[in-house]
Chains A and B, each alone.
Chain A
Amino acid sequence: MFETNTAGIGGTLLEPSELPGRLETFLSTRWADGAPVAVSNYAEITGGYSRYMARFTASHGAESNEFVLRADPPPGQSILDTDRTAEWNLVQAVMANGGVTVPKGLWFDESGDELGSPGIIFELISGDTLYVHTQEGEADSHQQFTAPLADLFAGVHAIDTITLPAEMERPASWSSYIDGNVARWAEAEGGHAESDPFMRAVAAWLDTNRPPEAPLGLVHGDLQAPNILVQEGTGDFYLLDWELSRVGDPREDLGWWALACRSQPPDLIAADSDAFYARYREKSGLSEDIVNPATVAYFTVLSSISVFSSVIGQTASMSRNETTAMGVAYMTNAIPFMHRVFVEAMGEAGGWQEETK
């Protein structure tokens, strides 16, 4: 899932300057019955560290709409390499399920032959992300978001896995799923440019400090405030970026949220944790024994293996002089940050002495 990006199947590579023209051709057959389409107001969207994103207006005849392109970036530019086909299939399944609102995935260039790399065209939802909404005022001044946020988490976790794409892996059991993730921590170090004692420590700690079991379900995998769009006017939440989704332990999303909020404050859950967890437990049916700050802290550590292993893999490629991407270089600052979150989370979950020697 996180191999080095060789984006561009068939030798094509995403070339941003060519995209407006490519989109005009692509949309002509899908949206305008072969009529000419004009693309205007084309603007790259910054903020994501993995996919190439842009918004644009497309027009044909008297009709005009705004769309978002989400595509694989040029090789070596992303800190994550994920599968657009898997994401497209999952978005279609979530749209059909209806329990969680997502921007409609409208069209997909699976091969990348037309757009320059595999890419999805989404409807554009007007509004700002939840992250933007919470950048002013104190963390506890955004309590209007607590209940809808709990509902969003519970909504994702309530999606019946039977409705998910058949190719999504279903773990045989909770224990085997945890075993597999513990093993991933130990194995992922092989992709690092150097020995990382934190990874061996985390693997050993995860194995010996397991929390009570929870039913496995859909995990979004990157549930954080910048991936929640708050629709202008309605205030409805739209959940974006399904590239890291999997079937796993629902507490992984809660744990990942806590980690993401450390580098992108404020943490709306921590600001009103009693209210959030009470609502989440009510909606999800999970008891306090299963969902509490200590068990969530365990999953802050466990859930980060996908992103962490990808980040160290990309920085290793920089060590081998295979990329000079600034986003990858910047991630060398993120690694110590994640080390700290792991240690603090292990301290909160229990079984780790945080005092330095």
Chain B
Amino acid sequence: MITQPNIPRLLASIQTELTENVLPKIDDATTKVNVEMMTALLSALTIRTENEIAWMLEESAAIEAAADELLPNLPDTEAATTALEAHRASPPESMRLSHVTESYQRASELLSLLIEAAYSSGDEQAITTVQGLVNARLSIEQEAIGEFIAVGRD
């Protein structure tokens, strides 16, 4: 199969073509805004295609580790415990994006349940731990999209 130029490189080429050669020739305001949206999306997709699978696997592992640490010490964790078991019972079938995404969604639900359990307990240390997981997810999201400036608002 063809791997070079890789997907991020190809997406970057499309983005450059749209920005430098297509956009300046568009007179219609609505079409211009749509193309500006496309280039912003392509910028994020370029980063996502390079990193997304690794990011999902790494974050899933971190959530799992946090669950192991938190669940024995928190009350009312039946739902989170069940979610942890479900996550462990169904690792990704392959490294295909769809399979990793399915597994990541189970990890995300586990994180959501950990957040609820932490806040319900009022345990400050547990709350700090789940906030750290949310902050870590946020850092990855920001790496993917960069600064978001709404296009076409003038």
* A132–B153 CA distance with the chains assembled, in angstroms: 9
Question: Which of B37, B105, B144 interacts with A336 by CB under 8 Å?
Answer: B144
A41 within 8 A of B: no
Known: A327-B37, A333-B148. A226 touches B108 (CB 8 A): no
In the complex, residue of chain A having the shortest beta-carbon distance to the beta carbon of B135: A356
Known: A333-B41, A336-B144. A263 touches B149 (CB 8 A): yes
Enumerate chain A residues within 8 angstroms of B142, measured Cβ to Cβ: 336, 340
B29 within 8 A of A: yes
In the complex, residue of chain B having the shortest beta-carbon distance to the beta carbon of A335: B141
A interface size (C-beta, 8 A): 44
> How far in angstroms is the closest Cβ of chain B from A334?
6
Indicate if the CB atoms of A197 and B108 lie closer than 8 Å. Answer: yes
Question: Which of B108, B145, B154 interacts with A195 by CB under 8 Å?
Answer: B108
B61 within 8 A of A: no
Enumerate chain B residues within 8 angstroms of A189, measured Cβ to Cβ: 112
* A339–B134 CA distance with the chains assembled, in angstroms: 10
* A132–B152 CA distance with the chains assembled, in angstroms: 11
Known: A46-B33, A333-B44, A336-B141. A356 touches B119 (CB 8 A): no
A353 within 8 A of B: yes
Contact with B along A185-206 (1 / 0, CB 8 A): 0000100001111111100110
Question: Which of A196, A208, A264 interacts with B150 by CB under 8 Å?
Answer: A264
A355 within 8 A of B: yes
Known: A352-B131, A356-B139. A330 touches B41 (CB 8 A): yes
A332 within 8 A of B: yes
A343 within 8 A of B: yes
* A336–B48 CA distance with the chains assembled, in angstroms: 13
B70 within 8 A of A: no
Question: Which of B40, B108, B111, B141 interacts with A340 by CB under 8 Å?
Answer: B141
A47, A129, A200, A339, most chain B CB atoms within 10 A: A200
Known: A330-B40, A336-B141, A339-B138. A356 touches B116 (CB 8 A): no
* A263–B151 CA distance with the chains assembled, in angstroms: 9
Enumerate chain A residues within 8 angstroms of B134, measured Cβ to Cβ: 197-198, 201, 343
19 contacts between A and B (CB under 8 A): A46-B29, A46-B152, A194-B108, A197-B108, A197-B137, A198-B138, A200-B112, A200-B113, A201-B130, A226-B154, A263-B149, A326-B34, A329-B41, A330-B41, A334-B148, A336-B148, A339-B141, A340-B142, A357-B62
